[in-house]
């Protein structure tokens, strides 16, 4: 299975900050990378698929980039509703696998 490693595992930031989360795969995954936002007690939400395609309805402050085995999710200006846990997922080779999560907290 492809191993997905996210960094950092947790992050403190303030409203208005620019934040970047990194996801590294154990092999190249051909831009087949999705990002999710998860708040406690809620359904996870798809933000980005195919590394850089923004899901319908997701604010443009979210963006995804990367290639090969390294990918990033950037939030250009943090809003109060963005504090959550973020997961990456490779959709390149079955079984699809997820990163361990990055918890984004209010500073």
Partner 1 sequence: QVQLQESGPGLVKPSETLSLNCTVSGGSISTYYWSWIRQPPGKGLEWIGYISNTGSTNFNPSLTSRVFMSVDTSKNQFSLRLSSVSAADTAVYYCARTWPMVATGYFDLWGQGTLVTVSS
Q: Which residues bind partner 1 (CB under 8 A)?
A: 32, 34, 36, 41-46, 49, 55, 87, 89, 91-101
Measured from the CB of residue 100, what is the shortest distance to partner 1 in angstroms? 4
Q: Is 82 helix (H, G, I), strand (E, B) or coil?
A: helix
Measured from the CB of residue 52, what is the shortest distance to partner 1 in angstroms? 13
- What gap in Å lies between CA 53 and CA 38, rounded to an integer? 19
In the complex with partner 1, the residue whose CB is nearer, 16 or 95, is 95
- What gap in Å lies between CA 30 and CA 58, rounded to an integer? 23
Tokens, residue 9: 């595992």
Measured from the CB of residue 104, what is the shortest distance to partner 1 in angstroms? 16
Tell me how far the alpha carbon of residue 59 is from its chain's centroid: 14
In the complex with partner 1, the residue whose CB is nearer, 70 or 101, is 101
């Amino acid at each position: 299975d492809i191993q997905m490693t996210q960094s950092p595992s947790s992050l403190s930031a303030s409203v208005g900050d620019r934040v970047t989360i990194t996801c590294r795969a154990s092999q190249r995954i051909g831009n087949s990378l999705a990002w999710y936002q998860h708040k406690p007690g809620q359904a996870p939400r798809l933000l980005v698929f195919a590394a850089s395609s923004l899901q319908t309805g997701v604010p443009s402050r979210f963006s995804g980039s990367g290639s090969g085995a390294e990918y990033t999710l950037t939030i250009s200006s943090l809003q109060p509703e963005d504090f959550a846990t973020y997961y990456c997922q490779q959709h390149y080779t079955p079984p699809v696998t997820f990163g361990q999560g990055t918890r984004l907290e209010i500073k």
